[in-house]
Structure 1
Amino acid sequence: MKRIFFIINFFFIAQITFAQLETIPIPDQEILELLSGTEVNFSNTQLSYFEGGGSQQIGQFNGLNSNLGLDSGIVLATHFIGQIAGNQYGLQLDPIVGVDSDLSLMLNEFSFPNNLKGVVSIEFDFVPSTDELNFNYVYGSNEYSSSTCSSFPDPFGIFISGPGISGPYSNGAENIALVPDPINPAYFTTTPVLVNSINAGESTLVNSSTFGCDAVDPNWQNYTDFYVPNSVPNPSVSLEGFTVPLQATKSGLVPCESYHIKFVVAVGPNSNSQDGAALFIEANAFANINTFGNTSTTVVNESNIFSYFSSDSPFQDKIYEGCGDATITFYRPDLAVGDITFLFRPQNEIGNATIGEDYSLAGNNVVNGFGYSSILLPAEDDQTQLIITPYYDYVNEPDETIYISIDQINIGCIQIDPDTIIFSLSDQPELNVSFNEDFSIYCPGSDVILEPNVSGGVGGFMSGSFSSDAYDYSWSQIGTAAIQIENPIETTEYCVTVMDICETQEKSDCIKVTVPEYDELQADLFSKIICEDIEADLCVINAEGGEGNYSYVWSNGQSGPCNYDYQGEYDVVVSDGCEKEIILFGEIYYDKPPEPSFEYLSIPHQNLGVEFYNYTDDSPGLSYRWSFDDGIYSDHSNPIHVFQQAGDYDVSLTVITALGQCEEDFQDYVTIDPNYSFFVPNAFSPNNDGLNDVFRTFTTGVKKFELFLFDSFGKMVFSSSNVEDSWDGTYDGKPAPQGIYVYQVVMVKDSDIVVFNEQGAFTLIR
């Protein structure tokens, strides 16, 4: 059901899209007006019908609601035009035998019989304004279904003749109804448009012969894209087929010359009232081809200052002495060809400016004769200019008038109206340039706006925006702008030269700008050393020079000469009232000493002696101060100190930094034990006399004791770990020989951990 519904809708839309072609018989003059409008004048017009056809064969058509492809225009038919308006045939007419020599010649080219019926034509003369003719048309016929490729095709043609055309038809005419090139439709073949050249690509004869088509063009089957088959129910155009809109064109026409054109349609000798052919020509086909009458827009004048002023300026049409050239431009009319000579007269009797005294004329082949002058517009150019050069005579005088009349010129079909050009010739106003008084500035480098007072000259009349400036400025080494912004750092004189837009007047002036001289801005910023991690002040000192009125901006955002903050590096921008600035760098330095520490040991051989070991981290320039709690001090790093008596002492070590003399202390209690003593006799005599009979050491203040005795050969003869023990001079129960012996004592003091020894020699005497 959906498919059926879709098909019904499709045909419904088709019925709406193409309704009926409308044809209307109209008077002959209206037919011609449809070709180009009422402003076109045709001549030698001829409309030809066959007997009984008359005005029913030529008329107006409206194709907006049809599939014809043309909206409107005129139609020529070999039968009544009403018979091609859809299926509304109305009166029917059998065409009768007719004659057209050009169609007969065309048929003869292909060896076809040249008998004709129903001949209808329109022909007339026209004068083109351009070198090319173009218009659109459609050709249709009722022969397509039964006579395609027959030897009796319906012929038609569009024949044009005139200057530069040399064709095979009457009066050298050419047929411009030609089949387009199927590859590039902007170009054309030499094949005429016929049923046998543009069709569906197959013969419709009973015997399917293609002889008639092949005779016209062997490539006829390549032209099917230009054919519209009209085999639909209820057609909007009652023709079996027709062409797409085609273009008839002819280039190389000579403007302003007369040409003849003929539109002619006919049918073959076997045609009846049901057969027929028609030619549809689009409306306004000749709308832009003919121009007659006068032209007055070929001369345009511009003063020598035309571009300097707006269109409503009262000065726009004036000429100023010495301000360049004024021009009168002569333009070629559209229809005119070849050289054109314009005649003009400088009329000194009307204008009081005299040629040769107040101005001169020049241009392309300008000839200054007695009373009349002329200028040539060569054939290859579209325009030429008459140059008016006013003299600058440096004489102050009233305005004068340049009066030039241009004569009427007739060029073929073109008439150029006369014209009059009037210029007012004036002196240039005097140019004036000046500055206000010299001035001074407070700060070097401040902005200085330099703007001279300029008036007069032709530039003084200018206002608004123009492609050229009213004045040219040339400053001494600083630029060419009208207003200069400078930043002098020393007293300077500025000079400007101003030239008027006419480049014949220039004036100069100077202005002096005084700049004060200040001493160089200077200041000091020294680093601050602190011994505690607290806020401190870092201050700028000795600020001098510059303008004064100093301001300070620190890197931590503070302002003022001093910055209060913790340890760190800082910079400060010091500036004066003229924004001259310097940058200083400083530091709040925390000179923290290292943590001191020490240890101590008793001196083995020194009673009450102590050696101190400093374990403080080393730093460059670090110094030390020792206090031994007995009134004695030392600045050594690792001092040795001998106390006077045993006891407990509060010993302190102070470390001192080099930069800030910052101090850090360390204290420890040192215990000094009772006296250590050691004595050894240098000889003994074991003879039992009660005197020096044994060898022993006399030692006190030790907690560890080892005694070793050796003979002169190194053999140990005695040892003991008791401080009270002694040697009686025997070895292995026998008296040791007299001689020298060596002792070695290994000990540790009571208040120490260091192992030390005492050694020496003694003599055994017998």
Structure 2
Amino acid sequence: MTVGNDQTVEWYVQNVLLGSGVTATNITFNGQPADQINMQCGYFQSNGSYMEVESGVVLSTGGVVGEDFTGDSVIVGEQTSIFVDNGQGGDNDLEQLSGENINDQAILEFDFIPTGDTLRFNYVFGSEEYPEYVNSFNDAFGFFLAGPGIAGTYSSPAGFPGGSINIALIPGTNTPVTIDNVNNGNANCGFGGGPSGPCTNCEFYVDNCDIEAEALDGMTTVLQAFAIVQCGETYHIKLAIGDALDSAFDSAVFLQEGSFASDLVVSAELFSSIGPYSDGFLYENCGFGTIVFSRQAGIDAESLVELEITGVAENGVDYTTIPTEFVFPEGDSLYFLDIYAFIDGLPEGLELVEITISNTSASACAQGAITSNFSFYVSDDPEPLTISTSDYAIDCGEQVDITVNVEGGYGQYDFDWSNGYDDTTQTVGPGLTTDYIITVTDTCNAGSQTDTITVTVPVYPPLSVEIADTTQLTCLQEIDLGPLNIEGGNGVYTYNWVQDGETLGTDEILTYIGSSTNVLTLNIMDGCFTQASDDMLVLVPVIPIFIDMSNDTVICKGTNAVISALASGGEPPYEYQWSHFGLTEEAIVVGPRESTVFTVYVTDLCQNVESAEVVVGVSETEALFAMEETGYFGVALENFSQGVNSDTLMYTWDFGDGEFSNEESPTHIYFDLNDQTIILNVVNEHGCTDSASISIQAPPTLYVPTSFSPNDDGINDLFKVYAEGVVDFKLIIFDRWGQEVFVTEDVNQSWNGRARQNSNYYGENDTFVYHLRARMIDGQRIDTRGVITMLR
């Protein structure tokens, strides 16, 4: 697309936008006289690009001309300066449409007088706010029409008090064309396409996301603005577009050149019964034609049309008579006139017929009849249709251009080849002698001509190839193989040696290296694409591979073992592949959690494979026993220990008091009164060990001496209660007169014979009474009294 911006706004209206039947005055742009250039108005040409409107006037909320990365002028889009703020802001009609404040509006206004009873013009609306801001920002545009017979809710221009209506509507509805009303959903505009729904009138939406670098991201299809007007009256049109809320992401409206029109022009077109190739021509003795006269649709009145026929061909002599006038019935927009060219046998060449068409019913508004011109040609009866061809001879594999020569007939020729081709010449290369039938028909369809072209291809003897049936090699032996005999074909051969579906060579002689017994195939093809093949059995004897494996072994669970394989025989070097872990060494370290069979695969240089196995057993022991207390401080032990992958278990008991036993389930008696831990250690024949233990508490004891001698001789100087397994304890000692001389709640505290607590006085030889209360660890409660004798 190209865009120009070098003319005034008024020039673009008068010389680009306006079509027939309309005169415009009082042209302004953004409220100012339109006799100057404005950056928001310009002329565009599609040049076969994405824009469906070929040319016209463009209005933009930014500058209509920017520069792309190469400096070329382009229309508003992602490569241009799209954030153009023109300093304009606010328009009541656009704000009523969008519900938002309007910036950067471009408003083209003028008065016009129509000569017909309708106003029509074509346009496309596009925006950079598509599709990301659908149902969000809503740039607005509208075509606001005011004048006689119109009453609307939009503003009333000066001199037009009835208000305005918006004629930029979705076809068949009263819904304005906006971003929110015409779209295919909301999404980011990535290359490869925009959103895929939901659809809102999306049959009128064009997604430009895949070409966003050179176009507005989205736009409408070509739409038509339409209104009923009164012939000869003055109307006011306001073509307006603006940014909503801010000045970013511009929008534009493209108005088709010459489409702003209101007239009663009658046009004509000649159609022929012999097809589209004859349009504009009438041939003698070649079908008939129909002249179709048309006026604007929707006119509820008759129209008288006068025809003035001139030209070289004579009306009623060279062709059927064309009347000098006819009438469009009320409501009809088409009038059909059949016409036929007479055969006069005279060599007259092409004869022009010119018709001036005058719509006299429009004279009241147009100050005279509205005229248009139409012409066609009458041509002589054509010469008879003839065709000529030639036969061809080629060798197989070659190609040749075959053609048909045509003379006579008239107009466009249709070519129908038996192989579906439809032009005068085609390139063929058959493998066998082939007939190509060609049928030619001209425009007048006065008769068809058929001929046959024969392309001859020679026939060669059948192709065959022979190679040796069997070849025996040693592994890795190299040999050159080739065909023993080739017969037939055209003498030009290609070769393809194949083994196991893989091509090994494409020369006549193949250098082959033996690795294993296999079938080798030679495929050949001659220049005529004939094929033949033969097979050879290649025998390569296998040399056995021997594997010296490490012995089966047993390990304790959680430990490792080294297993190994040593290969011999075959054709070294060897490749080792263990079935577990994917290891490739001769010796590997393994530590399975359970007994496992390990397999090693050995492959030699000739790709022969041998395998061997080794078993790594996993053994473990579990130490487990139960204890029963016997007697005063004795135990009976029952052994439940067991082994996995083991036949023999050996036991060692540690009773904790320095005594040991190797019996399976021993008994034991303790002679001290200390808590003990019994430990069982188990080992099997593979050295796998485990241990278990149980702790035992000594039974509670309590002993009260009957005498002591606190004379500092170091022998029995203190009175003390000896106890084990005491939880609560209290001792009170009284003299013979019932006085307390000692009290303690600590079982380990002793009495040194002092007469009173914390006194330096020692009593004399005497007898004392004690009161003892205690609670033992087994729950037993003791409450006892006794006599203590103190001897100095």
> Could you say which TM-score interval applies, normalised by the shorter chain?
0.3 to 0.5
With a CA cutoff of 8 Å and minimum separation of 6, indicate the structure with the bigger relative contact order.
Answer: 1
Structure ID, larger Rg: 1
Q: Structure 1 length as normaliser, TM-score? A: 0.34
Q: Structure 2 length as normaliser, TM-score? A: 0.33
**Per residue, is there more helix in 1 or in 2?**
1
